[in-house]
Amino acid sequence: MLEKAIEETRGDLKKLIKYDDRFHPIKNIDAAARMLSDLYFNQNPRRRTWARALERYAGRPTYDSKVLGYATKIRNPRFRRIVEFNFDSTNRNLIIGGRPLTFERYIAIFHHLNRNYGLKLYSKLPRHP
């Protein structure tokens, strides 16, 4: 059913959100964060760890190390340069709007297209205790 919606809307996120809230990026992240928080706080307080909560969230024992590894990598300027280089090399012939699509341009376009999903409003909501 979701595949059909994706096909019919040609992956247009704004149309997909109207079809099903699961496509809404802010609501999706919020739901995942609430589930993860519940998994964390429902552990024995003496054995409570975020790593264990991540493992339970994913149902895989190595998920926590992968998530934490990517969180570390994403803050590393060298890693970002490698991603940028690989993106630019792979998409060398990709033209969008009459101009080559570089990694920097892709990020700018992505941010522009995804700026109106309510993150600022959401960030002002009361925090979950």
Give 74's contacts (C-beta < 8 A, 6+ positions apart): 80
Specify which residues 95 forms β-bridges with: 100
Residue 59 lies in a domain: no
Residue 116 lies in a domain: yes
Q: What local confidence, expressed as pLDDT, does residue 128 receive?
A: 63
Distance CA(72)–CA(54), nearest Å, equals 16
Per residue in 42-94, pLDDT (tens digit) is 999 999 998 899 999 999 888 888 888 888 898 899 999 999 999 999 999 99
Residue 55 lies in a domain: no
Query: 123: domain range?
Result: 76-129
Residue 7 lies in a domain: no
Residue 115 lies in a domain: yes
- Whether residue 23 contacts residue 13, with contact meaning beta carbons closer than 8 Å, is answered with yes
Say how many domains are in the chain: 1
- Whether residue 28 contacts residue 36, with contact meaning beta carbons closer than 8 Å, is answered with no
Residue 84 lies in a domain: yes
Q: Span 97-117, mean pLDDT?
A: 85
Residue 98 lies in a domain: yes
Distance CA(51)–CA(105), nearest Å, equals 35
Residue 105 lies in a domain: yes
The per-residue pLDDT of the chain, averaged, comes to 87
